[in-house]
Amino acid sequence: MDESAAAPSRNSFPYPAIGAILAMLAVAVLGVLWLPRADVQVPPVDDCRLDRQPCTAVLPGGGRLEVALDPRPVTTSGPVRVGVTVDGLRAERVGVDFQGVDMNMGLHHLALAESGVGRFAGEMTLPVCVTGKMVWQATVLVAAERKNISVPFRFESGV
């Protein structure tokens, strides 16, 4: 009998259990990176109008969001500056979708730029409504902690 055939190879991995554990850890890390984000919709903030004052909403998980428009009242003849502050969670991206409530004016998305820790800002001009006065919904979109959080607010323009 040839003894070299029965002896284990010195080139084989000596600890198969460690190899299996490392493979499982690699799969788990990749799974977390590829998991889809959870979509979380916060109920509309009905007791605050952005054309009159900054508005605040409590976010799931204990965070807080504050939104302000400038100028107030909101005009349709010039740019509107949007400021968002996110406290209590680290926001990766923040944007705002503007949509007419009573009249279809299309969907207008504004990606906000980070202007400080937890602060985001941007500027856009809203479409002009032929009636002069328009009710809008501004939905703030926050990507944070593997969640896409949306918070709707209302305001009037052209007043």
- pLDDT band at 145; cut points 50, 70, 90: confident
- Inform me whether the pLDDT recorded for 6 exceeds 80: no
User: CATH assignment of 38-157, given 3.20.10.10, 3.40.50.720, 3.90.660.10, 2.60.40.10?
Assistant: 2.60.40.10
In the 8-state DSSP scheme, what is residue 92?
E
Q: In which residue ranges of the chain is CATH 2.60.40.10 found? A: 38-157
What whole-number distance in Å separates Cα of residue 91 and Cα of residue 106?
27
For residue 130, what pLDDT is reported?
A: 67
* Mean pLDDT of the region 149-157: 91
Which H helix or E strand runs over 3?
helix 3-6
Give me the torsion for CA of 48, 49, 53, 59, rounded to 10°.
50
- Per residue in 24-36, pLDDT (tens digit) is 777 666 555 555 5
Q: Which of 5-9, 52-56, 132-136, 142-146 bottoms out in mean pLDDT, i.e. has the lowest?
A: 5-9
Specify whether the CB–CB gap between 59 and 41 falls below 8 A. Answer: no
For residue 57, what pLDDT is reported?
A: 94
For residue 74, what pLDDT is reported?
A: 83
